[in-house]
Amino acid sequence: MSGFPILDLVIGIIFIYFLLSIISSSVVEMILTAKRIRARVLEKWLVTIFDKKIKQSDGTEITLGQAIMDHCSVTALSKKGQSTSYIGPKNFTTALIEKITFQVDPTKIVKTIDELITSIEKTTVLSTEFQRALLNYAYEAKDSYEKLTVKTMSEIEMFRSKVENWYDSSMDRLTGVLKRHSSFFTIIVACSIAIFLNADSIAISKYLYSNPEARAKLAAKAYETAKDSTIKANLTTVKNAIAADTISRTKDSTEQTIEQIEQNFKAKLNEVNEANAALKAAIPIGWSNTDFKAIDSWFLFILSKIGGLALTVLAIFMGAPFWFDILNKVANLRGSGPKPASTAAGDDKKS
């Protein structure tokens, strides 16, 4: 308790928004994983960009995009013709080069930049535009290598680096598509949470304002949470994942194993249960018959309820990292202020 009821009320509301946001983000993450949204977005991009047919060793034909998805450097538990959730730039480049060179001459292993250029020129599995782009990267790598006085990498390594950079920039744009999916599910989940839990911001504010004991307990829990280094580290990881390319750079691996997926689901469920338990311990949530008793005006009640729930939905959409940052700032504000005069200084003045 800070000694300032309004400050306790504000930090209590912020803490509630933080807990609701944790529930929302955990549920959204489980939906994205269950529906393979990341994998589907990446899969659609691959089969659209690399749509030329390539003949496999068994004689069947599939698109180059499907062949890249089936390559041993990128696949794990995904089915044939389906993308994994994450493909790193190095793995993508390895699969692309191998498929191009294999299509030109299955018996030959490319060892020099000139051999790679020949393979790119002869291949029929690339669009003309992308074929020219790869040739440009290859000639740039060759020229750059010749100009180096100290050669720390090979020409092919320089070429690979350029292709990896192209892939990264493509994933940056592709991540916008994934974020639109995420935003769509976040809105649905936020509305569901607010309605199901009856998380009415206006009603909650009134309750905390008229119940000093509950307000003080909630504020104390909020200040305790703001100092928790584990929560801070976890949310920093979440913020970095959001800022980074969530398709190609969140994981520099191929695909989660079934065990990892199950562990992820269990962890998210635990987060939901813990946040829900913290909410129930702090405020009365959910619907009850008392909510509809002593209503003077149904119009004002419905208007207030819609407004309160809408505020909660908007707050949840801001995300747990946002509210944790605000929580820390308010906690620091509470701890700041002029220091009281020392006893020694007071004694000197008296003498």
In a domain, 49, yes or no: yes
- pTM attached to this predicted model: 0.69
CB 84 within 8 A of CB 69: yes
| pLDDT at res. 349 | 47
| pLDDT at res. 81 | 63
| pLDDT at res. 252 | 40
| pLDDT at res. 321 | 86
The DSSP code for 144 is H
**Residue-range definition of the domain harbouring residue 51:** 38-168
| pLDDT at res. 224 | 83
| pLDDT at res. 151 | 77
In a domain, 351, yes or no: no
Same-domain check for residues 29 and 117: no
Same-domain check for residues 26 and 42: no
In a domain, 244, yes or no: yes
| pLDDT at res. 351 | 44
Residue at a domain's end among 144, 168, 192 = 168
Q: What token pair was written down for 315? A: 């707050």
CB 118 within 8 A of CB 109: no
Q: Mean of the per-residue pLDDT values for the chain?
A: 79
CA 39 to CA 247: how far, in whole Å? 8
| pLDDT at res. 138 | 94
CA 299 to CA 59: how far, in whole Å? 71
Nearest alpha-carbon partner for 269 in 33, 94, 43:
33
In a domain, 347, yes or no: no
List the chain residues with pLDDT less than 50.
245-246, 248-262, 265, 338-347, 349-351
In a domain, 12, yes or no: yes
Same-domain check for residues 270 and 158: no
In a domain, 119, yes or no: yes
In a domain, 215, yes or no: yes
Q: What token pair was written down for 283? A: 């405020």
Residue at a domain's end among 124, 146, 168 = 168
Same-domain check for residues 14 and 64: no
Nearest alpha-carbon partner for 110 in 94, 128, 87:
94
**Rounded to the nearest 10 degrees, how much is the dihedral formed by the CA atoms of 143, 144, 145, 151?**
160
What DSSP letter does each residue of 166-197 carry, written as one string? HHHHHHHHHHHHHHHHHHHHHHHHHHHHHHHT
3 state SS of 61: strand
Same-domain check for residues 188 and 317: yes
Q: Name the burial class of residue 136, with classes exposed (0-12), middle (13-18) and buried (19+) by CB atoms within 10 angstroms of its CB.
A: exposed
Same-domain check for residues 154 and 278: no
Same-domain check for residues 43 and 53: yes
In a domain, 344, yes or no: no
What is the domain count for the chain?
Answer: 2
Contacts made by residues 110-114, CB under 8 angstroms, sequence distance 24+: 110/156, 112/155, 112/156, 113/138, 113/141, 113/142, 113/145, 113/154, 113/155, 113/156, 113/159, 114/142
Same-domain check for residues 162 and 221: no
| pLDDT at res. 97 | 93
Residue at a domain's end among 135, 168, 201 = 168
Radius of gyration of the chain (CA): 28
